[in-house]
């Protein structure tokens, strides 16, 4: 595969899948999305771990819901590379068929993580062997990693019996609002976890898009700093001689918890957010989704 230069972390929402489908095919060859399959039902799931007990009420309904969504993801990727994290829908009785289809019919690599159920970790590794594409290991860095986390990751690698040349380390810093503190966690992740084995590739992702935007009635436009891009530049400056290329990843214009939230169809406000990305910030504006002349008003706000 062509080595990606960018990893967008995307939820499997209709908007994200449709947007990816409209990306120029030449650009798509240089990016490798990390898709996270959103939950089917509520409530919001925690980052990086499993809810116990699992709130999904119906295995059969989950299987019927999941399979066509996986098929749609396979179709839109059209042989392009990337990863799929099914942490929120990994109940094996319900997800085995869909994950098997991913392994056999796509170029997407499955993802597991140190905090997950050992049975599901083993199943992801077995499917990775079946596909021949390798496996992604996603490590959440909401807290700074320590030697205990390093030992936990080393134990996972030993149990999975997947050679490091087939493993991708996905270091996920999550939501950040401070480059200095986020940089400390990311550097600790690189030093402790990135040097653990000879990984096939290492990706560092972070989310700087704000989750809450208060006061849009009074101030309908906003600029938010690109802490995610600042973090990547700081890592490059602090570890210029790191033995492997660290691939940049971000959550685009979604907050870090978007993929943990089910899509619930219900009436919402009569406005949405225009979201643009610049090298230094996010340009955010409130724009109408209902009412007369909404298209003209939205275009005016975009301009």
The DSSP symbol for 17 reads H
Q: In the structure encoding, which two tokens stand for residue 69, read together?
A: 């969504």
Q: Give the model's pLDDT for residue 29.
A: 92
Instruction: Please name which of 5, 48, 6, 10 lies closest in space to residue 252, comparing C-alpha atoms.
Output: 10
Q: Give the model's pLDDT for residue 196.
A: 95
Are 111 and 136 within 8 A, CB to CB?
yes
pLDDT averaged per 10 residues in sequence order, the chain, 303 residues: 88 94 93 97 88 90 95 95 95 92 95 94 95 96 94 97 96 95 95 95 96 82 94 92 88 95 76 90 90 86 88
Return all residues near 287 (Cβ < 8 A) that are at least 6 apart: 271, 272, 273, 274, 294, 297, 298, 301, 302
Q: Give the model's pLDDT for residue 293.
A: 82
Q: Give the model's pLDDT for residue 249.
A: 97
Helix locations, 78-209, DSSP H: 92-105, 118-131, 147-160, 179-189
Structural element, H or E, at residue 16: helix 14-21
Are 125 and 135 within 8 A, CB to CB?
yes
């Amino acid at each position: 595969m062509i080595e990606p230069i960018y990893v967008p972390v995307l939820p499997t929402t209709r908007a994200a899948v449709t947007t990816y489908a409209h990306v120029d095919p030449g650009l798509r060859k240089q990016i490798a999305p990390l898709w996270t399959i959103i939950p089917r039902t509520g409530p919001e799931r925690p980052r990086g771990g499993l809810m116990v007990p699992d709130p999904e009420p119906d295995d059969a309904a989950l299987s019927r819901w999941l399979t066509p969504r996986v098929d749609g993801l396979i179709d839109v990727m059209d042989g392009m590379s990337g990863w799929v994290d099914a942490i929120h829908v990994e109940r094996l009785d319900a997800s085995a068929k869909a994950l098997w289809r991913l392994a056999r019919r796509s170029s997407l690599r499955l993802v597991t993580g140190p905090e997950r159920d050992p049975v599901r970790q083993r199943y992801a590794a077995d499917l990775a062997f079946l596909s021949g594409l390798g496996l992604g290991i996603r490590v959440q860095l909401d807290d700074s990693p320590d030697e205990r986390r390093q030992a936990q990751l080393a134990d996972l690698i030993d149990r999975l019996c997947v050679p490091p040349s087939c493993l991708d380390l996905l270091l996920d810093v999550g939501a950040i609002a401070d480059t200095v503190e986020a940089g400390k966690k990311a550097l600790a992740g690189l030093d402790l976890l990135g040097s653990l084995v000879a990984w096939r590739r290492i990706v560092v992702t972070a989310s700087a898009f704000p989750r809450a935007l208060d006061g849009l009635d009074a101030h309908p436009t906003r600029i938010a700093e690109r802490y995610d891009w600042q973090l990547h530049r700081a890592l490059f400056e602090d570890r210029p001689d790191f033995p492997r290329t660290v691939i940049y990843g971000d959550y685009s214009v979604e907050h870090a918890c978007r993929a943990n939230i089910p899509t619930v169809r219900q009436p919402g406000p009569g406005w949405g957010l225009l979201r643009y990305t610049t090298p230094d910030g996010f340009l955010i504006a409130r724009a109408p989704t209902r009412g007369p002349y909404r298209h003209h008003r939205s275009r005016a706000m975009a301009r």
